Structure 1
Amino acid sequence: MAGRIKDEDIALVRERTPIADVIGEYLQLRNAGGGSLKGLCPFHDEKSPSFNVTPSKNLYYCFGCGEGGDAISFVQKIEGLAFAEAVESLARQIGVTLRYEESGGRSTRRDEGKRQRLLDAHRAAAEFYAEQLLSPGAVEARRFLSERGFNRAHAEHFGLGYAPAGWENLTSHLRRKGFTDAELISGGLAAQGRRGAYDRFRNRLLWPVREVTGEVVGFGARKLDPAEDGPKYLNSPESPVFHKSRLLYGLDLAKRDISARNQAVIVEGYTDVMACHLAGVTTAVATCGTAFGEDHLKILRRMLLGRSNQGGKVVFTFDGDAAGQKAAVRAFAEEHGFASETFVAVQPDGLDPCDLRLHHGDQAVVDLVDHPLPLYEFMIRKVIEEYDLSAPEGRIAALDAAAPVVASIRDHGVRRFYGKNLDRWLGTLDEAFVLNRVNQHIRRATARGARSAPAPAAGPVPTPDAREAPYDLGDPSLQRERLALKVAVQFPGLAAGFDSFTAEDFTVPQHRAMLALIAGQGGVAAAGDPASWAARLREAAPTEAQRDFVTRLAVEQLELYGELDEHSARQILGTVRTHSINRRESNLQSELSRLGGSGDAGEQQRLLTELMALQQHKRALQEELAGGM
């Protein structure tokens, strides 16, 4: 049995490994004087760099957390590898052939470590898929790329490939190269069937997902035949080498420009990354089938070095549709932990970067990224545009909805700046009044934080699109809506009408966010097993705040006089819908009254028609509810 790596080979790896190049793959290093380099430590959260690298000694040390060592220990810690695996990884990069000692002292070669075997399998798979993209069977894959403005050279640059339609094309190919079924299944390249391993990806266009070092660790795959089963996009599963919460697609290509330009652009899809890079926005990256989270944030922070050292600009680009707005909300929730200036770029016509490049050319993509809105301004404007600012009541309601967003800004000067802007955007012409409203929310949040434990009757933790938004459990409208949400979470099989709700049916941002979360999971119609439904919603929730809200809705009592059945569930949902119609009816009547004798007959007729349709809808709903009694 092969034993340990020979000491002289370990010493050779240490000697020949340029530590600054190795560590520079993971974080930005800058000259610290005296022959040393400095960056943000990857092993603890910090705003000012205390991580030092001394190339002349091939050592690193963090004065913030005390971590230190050589290139081997760095790779070992940051990748979670055993000592021998770290040595093997570095040896492969610098071209050193390792020798191993058996118990009898005889030198020999041995199989490389498990992780390296999986990396080798993925590299071989990427090569196989790339070859298949040129095959006759990949005509639909090539058409997909061509229709989006990508040619063969672009596909080769990003390493794109095609998974043939059969069940064992890749599996058989890798078996012939000496890989076992167990290795292919462990790495996520194959799945376990009753008759053995079979290809995980079939008849799909594939994007290789690489670590920052350039090693392929997984794939993103796009379905080509709409009639086939399975999701449109399928990513590699979690494996010893693929951890989607710590991977950013395109980072291996973008890392140097991110550091050089002090800019990172976050897009939503693989084709968006391609479009941005080809248009000249070479700092674009995307997540791999998951929401942008804390681990992604830490990776970029290290690349950008942080605000205290002239840190960079992070631009989130989102689709102009509802999903894009949800992504903006998630970004807002994460912004407080970001040590860089954060912006949002949304194309007014709703085109994503890929379609934007296709329809308007490369310059349009560059212009989109070059003209973003600060994230706070984007979020505040998104809140207030939901309200009618032509009436004092609408402006006050918009102020109460937007003030918590302003109050959440930690920097006093920036908070005051946006408070004044909020006054201007609302047209209240009373800065002192607006700023006082903002300060009320700050005091309310401070008082809540000072309490050692929340009172039993306290409302749920606000969701990110409504930080500290008023949530009065004594409000009858809120109680009705909350009960409907509990039915949808606890008894999805009885909530058949829930999926037809719209955001307009709910009065508070927390409830609208829950509606969006449920809709994002396919609605209650896709709940499946009720026992796992709440768990699915928790996992899909973009922040801890919303996960907490889901938990509360899942465990709270329904507070009914009897058992919940199909009839009572229908009554609960119908009551929410009826009150929603009443609110819209009242708003239309108010608008008609406001027009009065203005002479705009066309507008009056439109409002009257809409009002009559609402009244007819309400009568039908009431008849439906009465018929079920």
Structure 2
Amino acid sequence: MAGRIKDEDIALVRERTPIADVIGEYLQLRNAGGGSLKGLCPFHDEKSPSFNVTPAKNLYYCFGCGEGGDAISFVQKIEGLAFAEAVESLARQLGVTLRYEESGGRSTRRDEGKRQRMLDAHRAAAEFYAEQLLSPGAVEARRFLTERGFTRAHAEHFGLGYAPAGWENLTSHLRRKGFTDAELIAGGLASQGRRGAYDRFRNRLLWPVREVTGEVVGFGARKLDPSEDGPKYLNSPESPIFHKSRLLYGLDLAKRDISQKGQAVIVEGYTDVMACHLAGVTTAVATCGTSFGEDHLKILRRLLLGRTNQDGRVIFTFDGDAAGQKAAVRAFAEEHGFASETFVAVQPDGLDPCDLRLQRGDQAVVDLVDHPVPLYEFMVRKVIEGYDLSAPEGRIAALDAAAPVVASIRNHGVRKLYGTNLDRWLGILDESFVLDRVNRHIRRGSGQGGQNGRPAPVGPGPAPTPDAREAPYDLRDPSVQRERQALKIAVQFPALAVGFDAFTADDFTVPQHRAMLTLIAGLGGVSAVRDPASWAGHLRDAAPTEAQRDFLTRLAVEQLEFYGELDAHSARQILGTVRTHSINRRESNLRSELSRLGGTDQVEEQQRLLTELMALQQQKRALQEEFAGGM
């Protein structure tokens, strides 16, 4: 059986992978200065960017949650892959052929990981379905598209396909390509029958669903014959690669425009995504057979980089029918993460974007998206329209129904303005009365643990500090700050860390710093570094514990607390300061020990301590002369 990937191939993938490009597929990165990039962390929920990427070191680190590593570990974490699977995925994108070690040491190829096999099968399936769309049997599929204003070129752009009516068309095709029935069933391309595997999709028009990276992971399928059994729309089942709660159809096409334009448009169906993109609204995406949820929200927030509604917003476009109105209510229930940045665009006559484009042209779709209503206003108006506002009793009933909606607004200023608007919309003409009603719901919500049954918002507590996992670590301590600076120079600029290899454990005050010194010394010290760009990566690989890897990554991506450009002289001063303070600590300890021995008959011990004290003083003078000579 084949073994692990050869070390030199792993190193090649790590070296050639542009980490900013890989991470940029999942979140928007902006220049943070000092050669670093910054974005919203994909591993924990945050509104202010604390996720840093350092392309020169090929490392990332989140100062909010402590996640960090290289491109391989990022892909592992975000895709839920094993180490080998992450390496294989990146190697495939780079065009690198990996070699594997047999237990006897012989290099060989081995079957790729299960996930990669599923991705390969889906890519082959998408190609098969696309070819079938041009076949004689796909006449109804082509008619469906033509009637909705979509051409062959449009179908090719979105990768549409057709699943033939037979039971084993795709299954037989993929078997011939070497895929097993078990692989096809596990990936959701086939179902298990009494006589073996059979095609999941039959006589249906198909849309390939892609990850943000462009890999096909599933399909959405529309029934073409109303007389056949089954739902109108059928999606791929949940699988190791298809998680509908974390997928947005069209995101692979829309991601860059979402980031650049600061806008995401959420539509309800696959054809609506197509219509929006063809009309020029290239930020449109749709969920895949599920309602818009918290995971979708996090994906979009990362792409929008937590923008405020001055230059970024999310727009929901729902059908005007009852189902569409319910979808808007569900979105409101899930969507407090964007607060006042969220809008709703509903066509008054109930047309969805696909029908709107077909009947009134591209500009009508653009106009729909350009004139949305804030989600809070939409919800408040939706609530009060069910009451008779001509009678005082109806207005009070509407107020009691709408007040909890207004009370759920977290921003105090926005909440007050909506309270004022609610008074105007109801025609009560007593702002203080309406606002008092809203405030009662806020107090009631707080007493029950939160607003509208939700947990009360809690301010962020102190972020976990990887530095303190093994021993107390106080970043306010000047000694810790100085030593940390020296370590950052040794990790980031080994060529400038002249004299670092002469440090001993006694020069550092905390266990974490001593562990880093031991780690660096174990690789030959900074004087042995031949390739500074890969030095931090080598240190991470050599770190014996996860805590040390985290700490090392942090040292590699943190900016030096130094004004101006670091040069040999300033680096020597920083390292020299650590040495000086180390000498001062030892001097103080020796003087205390001498004072304790004063008046005793331990003459020899006193003499030894005096000799050590004079040696330390001589070392200090030598350092001072070195600094003076370097000025």
TM-score (norm 2): 0.71
Query: Residue 218 of structure 1: SS of its match in structure 2?
Result: strand
Q: How does 1:202-351 map to 2 (within 5 A)?
A: 202-307=202-307, 312-338=312-338, 341-351=341-351
**Corresponding residue number in structure 1 for 2:421:** 421
Give structure 1 regions of 4+ aligned residues with deviation exceeding 4 angstroms. 308-311, 461-464
**Corresponding residue number in structure 2 for 1:6:** 6
**Corresponding residue number in structure 2 for 1:121:** 121
Contact 1:129–1:162 under 8 Å retained in 2: yes
Contact 2:6–2:98 under 8 Å retained in 1: yes
Contact 2:344–2:374 under 8 Å retained in 1: yes
What amino acid sits opposite 1:193 in the alignment?
Answer: G
Q: Is 1:412–2:377 an aligned residue pair?
A: no
Q: Distance in 1 between matches of 2:215 and 2:393?
A: 58
Contact 1:305–1:311 under 8 Å retained in 2: no
Shift of residue 340, structure 1, vs aligned partner: 6.7
Q: Is 1:74–2:74 an aligned residue pair?
A: yes
What amino acid sits opposite 1:32 in the alignment?
Answer: A
Shift of residue 449, structure 1, vs aligned partner: 2.2
Shift of residue 336, structure 1, vs aligned partner: 1.5
**Corresponding residue number in structure 1 for 2:26:** 26
Q: Distance in 1 between matches of 2:111 and 2:24?
A: 29
Cα 1:182/1:374, change in 2 over 3 Å? same
Q: Is 1:157–2:157 an aligned residue pair?
A: yes
What amino acid sits opposite 2:407 in the alignment?
Answer: A
Q: Percent identity?
A: 91
Contact 1:280–1:362 under 8 Å retained in 2: yes
Shift of residue 308, structure 1, vs aligned partner: 6.1
Shift of residue 130, structure 1, vs aligned partner: 0.1
Contact 2:10–2:87 under 8 Å retained in 1: yes
Q: How does 1:557-576 map to 2 (within 5 A)?
A: none
Contact 1:311–1:340 under 8 Å retained in 2: no
Q: Distance in 2 between matches of 1:111 and 1:178?
A: 11
Q: Distance in 2 between matches of 1:60 and 1:439?
A: 44
Contact 1:304–1:311 under 8 Å retained in 2: no
Q: Distance in 1 between matches of 2:368 and 2:45?
A: 31
Q: Distance in 2 between matches of 1:47 and 1:105?
A: 49
What amino acid sits opposite 1:267 in the alignment?
Answer: V
What amino acid sits opposite 2:266 in the alignment?
Answer: I
Contact 2:340–2:374 under 8 Å retained in 1: no
What amino acid sits opposite 2:70 in the alignment?
Answer: D
Shift of residue 410, structure 1, vs aligned partner: 1.1
**Corresponding residue number in structure 1 for 2:182:** 182
Q: Distance in 2 between matches of 1:100 and 1:359?
A: 58
CA deviation vs aligned residue, 1:161-183 (integer Å, no higher than 9, x gap): 00000000000000000000000
**Corresponding residue number in structure 2 for 1:476:** none
Q: Is 1:103–2:137 an aligned residue pair?
A: no
Query: Residue 143 of structure 1: SS of its match in structure 2?
Result: helix
Q: Distance in 2 between matches of 1:213 and 1:120?
A: 14
Contact 1:48–1:308 under 8 Å retained in 2: no
What amino acid sits opposite 2:391 in the alignment?
Answer: A
**Corresponding residue number in structure 1 for 2:112:** 112
Contact 2:339–2:410 under 8 Å retained in 1: no
**Corresponding residue number in structure 2 for 1:352:** 352
Q: Distance in 1 between matches of 2:29 and 2:112?
A: 31
Shift of residue 439, structure 1, vs aligned partner: 1.2
Q: How does 1:33-52 map to 2 (within 5 A)?
A: 33-52=33-52
Give the aligned CA root-mean-square deviation in angstroms.
Answer: 1.5
Contact 2:250–2:284 under 8 Å retained in 1: yes
What amino acid sits opposite 2:187 in the alignment?
Answer: G
Q: Distance in 2 between matches of 1:46 and 1:340?
A: 17
Q: Distance in 2 between matches of 1:169 and 1:97?
A: 32
Shift of residue 433, structure 1, vs aligned partner: 1.2
Structure 2's unaligned 5+ residue stretches are: 457-631
What amino acid sits opposite 1:205 in the alignment?
Answer: L
Question: Is 4-13 or 432-441 further displaced after alignment?
Answer: 432-441
Contact 1:312–1:340 under 8 Å retained in 2: no
Shift of residue 392, structure 1, vs aligned partner: 1.2
CA deviation vs aligned residue, 1:200-246 (integer Å, no higher than 9, x gap): 00000000000000000000000000000000000000011101111
What amino acid sits opposite 1:381 in the alignment?
Answer: R
Contact 1:314–1:340 under 8 Å retained in 2: no
Q: Distance in 2 between matches of 1:319 and 1:308?
A: 26
CA deviation vs aligned residue, 1:33-88 (integer Å, no higher than 9, x gap): 11110000011111100000011111100111111110000000100000000000
**Corresponding residue number in structure 1 for 2:367:** 367
Q: Distance in 1 between matches of 2:112 and 2:284?
A: 34
Query: Residue 57 of structure 1: SS of its match in structure 2?
Result: coil
CA deviation vs aligned residue, 1:496-526 (integer Å, no higher than 9, x gap): xxxxxxxxxxxxxxxxxxxxxxxxxxxxxxx
What amino acid sits opposite 2:48 in the alignment?
Answer: S
Q: Distance in 2 between matches of 1:463 and 1:219?
A: 36
Q: Distance in 1 between matches of 2:299 and 2:360?
A: 32
